[in-house]
């Protein structure tokens, strides 16, 4: 019965968010069938063809995998955090720990089998990638750490774990998971562990734990938005061919936000409880990690200036919109990591100011 109690929280958010679960589902399926190769013979041919393409898809997702894992955990975490008055349920806690343990071990195994196995091993080492992509990848690391920590906290609150303890455990889980990924990077000859990634992971974890312990709420959210850029067409193998690939691989189209809830800081005001002020960072003009190549395959590429962009905009904290509908609460919880389109003011490294009617 305790398992059923846990599933009551998990299942309602699983089905409406199935598309967000696809990247991890592909990973889990491929890992499972690597362990059960005889199962291929009984699968429909169309599904077998899908499985043969999983490895290629995972190569596309590697750098965005951490963020997608955070999204997946967000979908299964409860929309509303239970209060401290919820009686402690030891059996339900075991279910939560088992769920998170299986998710962590399976996803890390998938990373090892589907990604790192393709590249030679080496002794553990560090490498410096701090100048890659104008630090857009570091913003992604911080955001992933934030949401893994936050989602773990919410899940631990279901069985009645004390709020302060759940915050510490959630932060520890987020940091530890990403530290294991860095460890695997460190043993790969292709990459190496990155102090920059570890720092970003730490900042994302601290952003969650610090707010939860200090304010008992998340007043400042880490958020993401995306729009198609004009740069991916010049290096589709690096920045993506299809829209889905470009959403995951093209840093030129991503913007990361710090979204602060105004009413939380001014509680006596008549400002709507859901209204936020958002500060965004984006970089574009990038055809390569460190610099832009002059030509590819004897074809001259256009010259683009690599540019940092900073934004000021409004936003909506969907989780603060009051509604009695459990369906809407689930939807708001699912899409809460996305920055809502609004007008925005931009300042960039070219010393230019711009006004965007609607920016996403």
234-252 pLDDT per residue, tens: 999 889 888 888 888 899 9
Sorting pLDDT into bands at 50, 70 and 90, what band is 127?
very high
Give the pLDDT of residue 17. 34
Over range 300-324, report the average pLDDT.
96
pLDDT of 334 strictly over 50: yes
Q: For residue 18, give the DSSP letter.
A: H
Give the pLDDT of residue 11. 38
Q: What is the residue-averaged pLDDT of the chain? A: 81
Choice among 20-24, 92-96, 178-182, 215-219 with the minimum mean pLDDT: 20-24
Give the pLDDT of residue 119. 80
Over range 137-157, report the average pLDDT.
94
Choice among 96-105, 111-120, 261-270 with the minimum mean pLDDT: 111-120
Instruction: Report domain extents, the chain.
Output: 1-218, 221-360
Give the pLDDT of residue 19. 32
> Which of residues 130 and 26 earns the better pLDDT score?
130
Give the pLDDT of residue 84. 62
pLDDT of 75 strictly over 90: no
pLDDT of 202 strictly over 90: yes
Q: Which long-range contacts (CB under 8 A, 24 or more apart) does 346-353 make?
A: 346/309, 346/310, 346/311, 347/309, 347/310, 348/307, 348/308, 348/309, 348/310, 349/307, 349/308, 349/309, 350/305, 350/307
Question: Contact at 8 Å (CB) between 112 and 31?
Answer: no
CB atoms closer than 10 angstroms to residue 143: 25
Give the pLDDT of residue 153. 95
Give the pLDDT of residue 203. 97
Question: Contact at 8 Å (CB) between 12 and 329?
Answer: no
Q: What's the helix, strand, coil split of the chain in %, to 5?
A: 55, 15, 30
Measured CA to CA, the distance from residue 42 to residue 99 in angstroms comes to 28
Give the pLDDT of residue 88. 86
Sorting pLDDT into bands at 50, 70 and 90, what band is 311?
very high
3-class DSSP string for 285-336: CCCCCCCCCCEECCEECCCCCCEEEEEEEEEECHHHCCCCCHHHHHHHHHCC
Structure tokens at 118: 């393709």
């Amino acid at each position: 019965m305790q398992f059923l109690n846990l599933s009551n929280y998990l299942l309602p958010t699983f089905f409406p968010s199935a598309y967000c679960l696809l990247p991890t589902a592909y990973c889990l399926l491929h890992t499972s069938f690597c362990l059960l190769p005889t199962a291929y013979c009984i699968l429909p041919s169309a599904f077998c063809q899908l499985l043969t393409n999983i490895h290629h898809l995972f190569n596309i997702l590697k750098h965005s995998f951490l963020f997608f894992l955070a999204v997946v955990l967000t979908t299964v975490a409860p929309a509303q955090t239970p209060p401290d008055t919820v009686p402690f349920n030891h059996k339900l806690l075991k279910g939560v720990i088992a769920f998170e343990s299986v998710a962590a071990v399976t996803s890390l195994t998938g990373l090892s089998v589907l990604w790192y196995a393709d590249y030679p091993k080496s002794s553990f080492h560090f490498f410096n990638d701090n100048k890659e992509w104008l630090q857009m990848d570091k913003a992604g690391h911080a955001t992933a750490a934030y949401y893994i920590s936050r989602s773990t906290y919410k899940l631990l609150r279901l069985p009645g774990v004390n709020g302060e303890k759940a915050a510490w455990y959630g932060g520890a889980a987020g940091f530890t998971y990403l530290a294991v990924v860095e460890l695997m990077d460190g043993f790969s000859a292709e990459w190496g562990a990155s102090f920059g990634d570890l720092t970003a992971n730490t900042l994302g974890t601290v952003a969650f734990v610090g707010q939860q312990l200090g304010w008992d709420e998340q007043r400042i959210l880490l958020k993401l938005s995306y729009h198609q850029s004009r740069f991916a067409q010049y290096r589709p193998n690096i920045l993506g061919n299809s829209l889905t690939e470009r959403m995951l691989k093209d840093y030129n189209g991503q913007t990361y936000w710090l979204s602060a809830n105004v009413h939380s800081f001014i509680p006596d005001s008549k400002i709507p409880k859901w209204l936020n002020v958002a500060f965004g960072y984006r970089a574009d003009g990038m055809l390569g990690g460190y610099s832009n190549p002059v030509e590819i395959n004897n074809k001259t590429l256009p010259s683009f200036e690599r540019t940092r962009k900073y934004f000021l905009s409004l936003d909506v904290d969907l989780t603060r919109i009051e509604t009695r509908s459990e369906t809407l609460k689930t939807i708001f919880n699912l899409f809460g990591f996305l920055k809502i389109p609004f007008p925005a003011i931009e300042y960039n490294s070219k010393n230019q100011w711009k006004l965007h009617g609607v920016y996403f």
